Amino acid sequence: MWDRHTAVRTLITIEMDIGCVEEPPVAQQRSVTLVDDLDGGKAAETVGFGLDGALYTIDLSKKNAAALRKALAEFVDHARRVRATNGSGRGRAGKRPVQRNGPAPAVVREWAAAQGITVSARGRVPAELVAQYESAHA
């Protein structure tokens, strides 16, 4: 009995042996058979869609894919298309480098070390240390 909660993709591996016991098979043929997730028949395509922030894919026959598109058509016609994101919820615009004002952290760390002030080698330089650097170089 076909169960839609089990894997719907079947990977069939056919190995052709040339008859030599000592030699490994010389050729392999692999095929992927798509099974319609709704009715268990032969699927023609994988359809992707999203709802409530979740993305889905479903393998469907031509008939079922057309039915899905027809059912969603009115909603798609009135919807706004959005750009794909990188998974963090932010698009490319969110990846701009931070613009810094003031001295470079490496310069402040070097100055602090010369003054005998302990500062971590990584992370944010404390604002009070930056203020001390700036007042010393004013």
Model pLDDT, residue 32? 86
Query: What CATH superfamily classification does 9-80 receive?
Result: Lsr2, dimerisation domain (3.30.60.230)
CA dist 78 and 17 (Å) reads: 57
pLDDT, greater one: 94 or 20: 94
For residue 4, pLDDT over 50 is answered with no
CA 26 to chain centre: 36
pTM assigned to the model: 0.44
pLDDT, greater one: 111 or 27: 111
Model pLDDT, residue 1? 44
pLDDT band at 36 (very low <50, low <70, confident <90, very high): very high
The mean per-residue pLDDT over the stretch 38-46 comes to: 94
pLDDT band at 71 (very low <50, low <70, confident <90, very high): very high
Model pLDDT, residue 102? 83
- So where are the chain's domains? 9-80, 102-136
CATH no., domain 102-136: 4.10.320
